[in-house]
Structure 1
Amino acid sequence: MNTPASASTIPDLVADVTRARLQAQPLPWPSTVPADVPMAYATALAVRGARSAGGERPVGYKVGFTNRTIWPRYEVYGPIWGTVWNSTLTQIDASAPNEGVLALKGLCEPRIEPEVVFGLREAPPPGCSLAQLVAAVDWVAHGYEIVHTHFPAWKFTAAQAVADGGLHGLLLVGHRVRLDAGAAPEAVMASLAGLRIKLYGDGVLKDQGTGANVLDGPVQALLHFVNELRATPGAPALQAGDVITTGTLTDAWPVAAGQTWHTEIEASGPLGGGLKGLKVRFE
């Protein structure tokens, strides 16, 4: 079992992460820093505390590397999680077109990830089943996470990715589909697992994916995260209103200012009529 880093090492790592984020510069770490994933989460939680003390507000979480098809490409072979902030979250109002504008300034080597996003009605009970988890969900949406890294050419260890904010940059959440309190869990799970998506960059088809790519379905990915969060020493408790994005359904694709990306979605079941394609323009 890995041992968390001693507290004396954390301030230096937090200073490095903060400097890299604010100056959009590479992190100066060799492959051995941080040495393991527990050390990385201790660092990430310390960064979370520092950012909160500075006035930013955590609003939820991103779950990364749930898509098994991309593990060999990045040499990260298991899911990780990080914090989403009020400063990094954009939500599209239901009365507006399902499209948004995001500024990429300050991000390093940004990439786009089409994902399924959940909003919690309440905190799921400890040791919850998939059915109990669905009952705790208030809404589902299609969104884009814009990931980035302070390690050049996207070369990092799992521990480095965790400490580097879980690679989170921005999150755009499209129109929400409300789940009734009595929604049939099996139908919701099947609808999301069977979802099919096409990702276009400037009108050109770049990639295709399915909900089953993320740990067999977004609900399953959400449950994995809920359990991992609760198993992480010092991690915050889930609460009503938390926004959680569950990992990319395709590979992550480089993006740049001036580009427009959009998706097309095919889904059946209870979410088939609600989840729509999403457009984003980058500045």
Structure 2
Amino acid sequence: MRPAADIAREVLSALDDHLQIAPFTGRDGGLDARRAQAVARELARLRTARGLRKVGRKIGFTNRGIWPEYGVWAPIWGDVWDATLTNAQPGMTVAIADLLQPRIEPEIMIGLEDDLEPGMDVEAIAGRIGWIAHGYEIVQSPFPDWHFQAADCTAAGALHGKLLVGPRRPVSRDERSALPQALADLTVSLHKNGAEADRGRGANVLDGPVHALAHLVAALADDPDEAPMRAGDIISTGTITRALPIAPGERWQTVLGGYDLPGMDVTFA
């Protein structure tokens, strides 16, 4: 069976050199979820050796509505790095030519004020949230035409490319008890070059962004090789709409309803 470190080197090489590769689940003796997570840890070690620093995590495939499109039927997660994180400003231009088959995902990002512990429920988790932001995760796929299985996605760093985080809204302690429902009820309208491309609700994300975070807490608790989430971590909770292809020269904007967060306005180059 091919070593996890060898697969991780192939993933990183493909991303570095902008090359597409065949899914691992169809070759090299296959790839299951446990081995895929081991590959992801090796990939993280390679990136850390380059001087990158983890700043949080992204949760992928939390939107049940897109599961049939990709043939992935459960959430995955991966790391976010200082080099992939951008504090976005309205009207900014973001380069995407370095990404493979990029797609845009409008999401809610959560900043932790305190550590999260195994066994915490949604209400307890909400009590440790320091800020909320809206932004885009730009995902990428080294696998041709976005055809893969869940284990391939995990091995490829959960398909994370870049995280564009909009203005951060502090959450007071008095607001936190209402936060799970408030974020589930918000709406997002996604626009490409001025025309609406898709829309969705926060509840699309495993019943709400805080609920998605609770899923990740439980998933990490089940894996003894993974560290829990800590104060200061940023978590991107998953796409509220479909993930749509993007290209240089396009302007993508969002309009949010039901919650006090500004929309995004980014042009890609």
TM range (shorter): over 0.9
Q: CA deviation at 1:99?
A: 4.2
Contact kept, 8 Å, 1:99 with 1:174, in 2: the verdict is no
Give yes or no for the alignment of 1:19 onto 2:10.
no
Give yes or no for the alignment of 1:149 onto 2:145.
no
Q: CA deviation at 1:28?
A: 3.6
Q: CA deviation at 1:188?
A: 1.1
TM-score (norm 2): 0.95
Give yes or no for the alignment of 1:54 onto 2:31.
no
SS in 2 for 1:15: helix
SS in 2 for 1:101: strand
Contact kept, 8 Å, 1:260 with 1:281, in 2: the verdict is yes
Give yes or no for the alignment of 1:91 onto 2:87.
yes
Partner of 1:37: 33
Q: Gaps spanning 5+ residues in structure 1: where?
A: 1-5
Contact kept, 8 Å, 1:98 with 1:175, in 2: the verdict is no
Partner of 1:242: 233
Question: Aligned-pair RMSD on alpha carbons?
Answer: 1.4
SS in 1 for 2:225: coil
SS in 1 for 2:58: strand
Give yes or no for the alignment of 1:66 onto 2:62.
yes
Partner of 1:9: 3
Q: Gaps spanning 5+ residues in structure 2: where?
A: none
Shift >4 Å, 4+ stretches: none
Give yes or no for the alignment of 1:175 onto 2:161.
no
Partner of 2:74: 78
TM-score (norm 1): 0.91
Name whichever of 98-107 and 9-18 sits farther off.
98-107
Distance 1:245 1:184 in 2: 18
- Residue type of the alignment partner of 2:26: T
- Residue type of the alignment partner of 2:133: A
1:230-272 Cα offsets, whole Å, 9 max, x none, are 32242233211111000000000100111110001101xxxx2
Name whichever of 203-212 and 25-34 sits farther off.
25-34
Partner of 1:207: 198
Q: CA deviation at 1:30?
A: 4.7
1:77-96 Cα offsets, whole Å, 9 max, x none, are 0000011111100013xxxx
SS in 2 for 1:26: coil
Partner of 1:3: none
SS in 2 for 1:31: helix
Q: 1:275 aligns with which of 250, 253, 261?
A: 261
Q: CA deviation at 1:222?
A: 0.8
SS in 1 for 2:168: strand
Name whichever of 160-169 and 24-33 sits farther off.
24-33
* 1:121–1:99 CA distance, 2 compared to 1 (3 A): farther
Q: CA deviation at 1:126?
A: 2.2
1:151-206 Cα offsets, whole Å, 9 max, x none, are 01000000001101101000000011111134342x21111101111000011110
Q: 2:109 aligns with which of 104, 113, 117?
A: 117
Contact kept, 8 Å, 1:125 with 1:132, in 2: the verdict is no
Length, aligned pairs only: 267
